[in-house]
Chains A and B, each alone.
Chain A
Amino acid sequence: ELKVEQNPLFLSMQEGKNYTIYCNYSTTSDRLYWYRQDPGKSLESLFVLLSNGAVKQEGRLMASLDTKARLSTLHITAAVHDLSATYFCAARGWRGGSQGNLIFGKGTKLSVKP
């Protein structure tokens, strides 16, 4: 059964600092997703990573995937207050267990303070 773990679950950062959110998954998966959720809102798609070594960047966020280590990272560069949100990673289950559906981590609540 595919399980997805994120850490940390809570992250308080100062503006201008760098930090990384980690996402580990337990079994083979061919896709890794990152979403952002603002309080009271729905999920917004940030990145989809499809292959080992994939790296995608958007503004101050950069996501990478290491399928051998079953690890994805979301790196935040020079954080600003607007990045405060909850970030979820999700892996796609492979055959048998999760029918190809996304399995989500518990989310990382990021708070960026001046």
Chain B
Amino acid sequence: SQTIHQWPATLVQPVGSPLSLECTVEGTSNPNLYWYRQAAGRGLQLLFYSVGIGQISSEVPQNLSASRPQDRQFILSSKKLLLSDSGFYLCAWRASGSYEQYFGPGTRLTVT
């Protein structure tokens, strides 16, 4: 069966510090991968998606970037965090040709 992992689960970082969040999927090959952000009490905003290794599409311009160095690994990064980057970051995956989209457990980021 397929599983999705995210780490860390929680993170507190000062403004201006770098960020690296990791997402890995097990039990599937060549999944579509997604990064979402959910600000406190709000809906989900799609940040990046990837249909394959090295293929990243950005939905919203910001100081974040994403990379997919391996088939089942998706990384969200920032060189300098802003207060507005605080939120709940969710990674999701969908098997190619499938319609089901599943979410990881999430990383709660607080920028202080």
Q: Which residues of A contact B (CB under 8 A)?
A: 31, 33, 35, 40-45, 48, 50, 88, 90, 92, 99, 101-107
Give the number of residues in B that approach A within 8 Å (Cβ atoms): 18
Given contacts A42-B90, A101-B34, A101-B49, contact A88 B44 (CB under 8 A): yes
Complex Cα–Cα for A102 and B92 (A): 11
B88 to chain A, nearest CB (A): 8
Contact residues of A: prevailing secondary structure: strand
- Which of B11-19, B66-74, B79-87, B101-109 lies at the interface with chain A? B101-109
Say yes or no: B104 contacts A102, CB within 8 Å: no
Interface residues of B in 36-83 (CB under 8 A from A): 42-44, 46, 49, 57, 59
Complex Cα–Cα for A60 and B1 (A): 27
Identify the 6 closest CB pairs spanning chains A and B, nearest first. A106-B43, A43-B103, A104-B44, A42-B103, A42-B106, A42-B105
